[in-house]
Amino acid sequence: MYRSDIEWLIPPEDDSRLLSVYDSREQFLGTALYSSSSQIALRLISISRLDQEGWMALFRERLRASIRFRVSRENATDGPTEACRLVFSEGDFLPGLIADQYNDFVVLQILAQGMDTAAIRESFLEVVIAEASPRMVLERADPRMVELEQLRVPSAGPLYCQPGTDPEESTVFHLNGLRFHYRGNSGQKTGAFLDQRENYAAAARYCRGEALDVCTYQGGFALHLARACGPVTGVDASRPALEVAEANLALNRDQIGQVEVDWIEANAFDLLRDWSNSSRRFDSIVLDPPAFAKSKRAAEGAMRGYKELNLRALKMLRPGGTLITCSCSHHVGIDDFTAVVAAAAGDARRQLRLLERRGAAADHPVLLTVPETEYLKCLICRVE
């Protein structure tokens, strides 16, 4: 509920961040978490009246259900996997809270002021330790949300470390049978992009020949492509990310053999423009850029960016090649994204056949009444 929709408000007098919500006829609507700084002032958590004790009981119940849902699906993967999203905010009815598991690590991320309480952290640890048995629990901040929501900056150390275990804040986890490094103090989001897990596996099924992974980050798509393609080139603007990608490549040589995998540090727009103009060609290209639209106002510029990337990629693909193109900007809907890819194909004078339209992995459930939870788009196309 946006601040502009509120007629009058009495802030909570305690640290619970709980408010009862009424409509203009003074009919009770439910209990919400309150934020004093965000434009999203209220996030509904129940249509019942809740006090602090009731909210903590409901929180623990929802958190257990969320974790157990993931455990029930742990065999439905494309190979051994030890990483998943345990809690997906509104998608698991816990708005403003993210939790990811990387092997024996659990990483908490709080994105809303209503979840930024000592009671939430205590209840989170109680349930996660009992249900997931982690060696370590870390909390990572999203700097943008810390500023917008005026959140507490987490302490540098872990929230929990299993007694008698290695205190090192790093581990290795399996994803679709491949191994990846995880370090608690580095990387984007909580450290990796688990929402693409099923799309990584799909890329290995569809792609063949010489392959290019644009915005590879730590090599997620590139290493999956190396199982079916060769040679493979991964491009990213971040040198630290590519250093992790190289370390991940070394971890997986037994899986991918001697397939040539190269990393290039470069701006994707500049590199693709130069390569497309110089007749550089590939059989398979993956485009997985960061979110171009952080707000509705940025959506128009994002569409131009998506068109430019896809136009350049289409010019570089050989006939019969595969294009896998992604958008994680929830302000750019699937219809608009599909239309801009089609427009790029028209400008490139290429025909596209849509083979699959995909989204985030199943551990990122979509709440139909919250369209922002369906943010990731992935189109798999055959190019003629």
- Measured distance CA(20)–CA(25) in Å, rounded: 14
Which of these, 272, 255, 252, 253, lies nearest to 264 by C-alpha position? Answer: 272
Sequence-distant (≥ 6) Cβ neighbours of residue 303 within 8 angstroms: 332, 336, 340
φ and ψ at 85, to 5 degrees? Answer: -85, 120
The dihedral formed by the CA atoms of 87, 91, 96 and 99, expressed in degrees to the nearest 10: 10
- Respond yes or no on whether the N-terminal peptide bond of residue 371 is cis (omega within 30° of 0): no
- Measured distance CA(107)–CA(360) in Å, rounded: 19
Which of these, 193, 283, 301, 305, lies nearest to 245 by C-alpha position? Answer: 193
Which of these, 209, 236, 211, 238, lies nearest to 223 by C-alpha position? Answer: 211
- Sheet of 105-110: strand order equals 83-88, 97-102, 105-110, 136-139, 160-161
Taken in order 188, 194, 199, 200, the sign of the CA dihedral is: positive
Q: Which two tokens stand for residue 60?
A: 């623990």
Residue 383's DSSP bridge partners are 321, 352
Q: Which two tokens stand for residue 316?
A: 């570089």
Active-site residues, by number, are 328
Residue 357's DSSP bridge partners are 379
Which of these, 246, 241, 237, lies nearest to 271 by C-alpha position? Answer: 237
